[in-house]
Amino acid sequence: MAYSRKLLDYFENPRCAGELPDANAIAEVANPICGDVMKIWLKVADNRILDARFKTQGCSAAIATSSYATEMIIGMDLQQARAITKEEIAEALGGLPPSKMHCSVLASDAIRAALKDFA
Partner 1 sequence: MKRIYLDSNATTPMRPEVSAAMIPIFSEAFGNASSIHWYGQQAKSLLDEARQQVSRLIHAEPSEIVFVSGGTEADNLAIRGIAETQKARGRHIITSKIEHHAVLHTCKDLEKQGWEITWLHVSGDGLVDPQDVRRAIRPDTVLISIMHANNEIGSIQPIEEIGAIAAQADVYFHSDGVQSTGKIPVDVKKLQVDLYSTSAHKIHGPKGVGALFVKKGTTLKPEMTGGGHERNRRSGTENVAGIVGFGQAAKLAREGLETETARMLLLRDRLESGLRERIPSIHINAEKAPRLPNTSNIMVDFAEGEGLVISLDLKGVAVSTGSACSSGSLEPSHVLTAIGKTPDEAHGSLRFSLNAMNTIDDVDYVLEVLPGIVERLRELSPHYRRA
Tell me the residue type at 37: V
Of the pair 75, 97, the CB lying nearest partner 1 is at 97
Residue 89's H or E segment, with its range, is helix 86-92
Q: Is 59 a catalytic residue?
A: no
CA atoms within 13 A on the CB side of 23: 18
Q: Which is nearer to partner 1, 48 or 113 (CB)?
A: 113
How far is Cα 15 from Cα 17, in angstroms, rounded to an integer? 6
Among 15, 48, 82, 102, binds partner 1 (CB under 8 A): 102
Note whether 23 binds partner 1 by CB under 8 A. no
Q: Which of residues 52-81 bind partner 1 (CB under 8 A)?
A: 55-63
- Residue 16 catalytic? no
Pick the binder of partner 1 from 14, 72, 86, 104 (CB under 8 A): 14
Contacts of 84 (CB under 8 A, 6+ apart): 69, 72, 73, 107, 108, 111
With CB under 8 A as the rule, give the number of residues binding partner 1. 27
39: region left, alpha or beta (phi > 0 left; psi from -120 to 50 alpha): beta
Contact with partner 1 (CB under 8 A): which of 4, 15, 24, 34? 34
Q: How far, in Å, CA of 10 to CA of 32, rounded?
A: 23
Please pick, from the candidates 3, 68, 69, 105, the single residue that binds partner 1 as defined by CB under 8 A.
Answer: 3
* Residues known to be catalytic: 34, 103
Which residues here bind partner 1, judged by CB under 8 A? 1, 3, 8, 11-12, 14, 17, 28, 33-39, 55-63, 99, 102-103
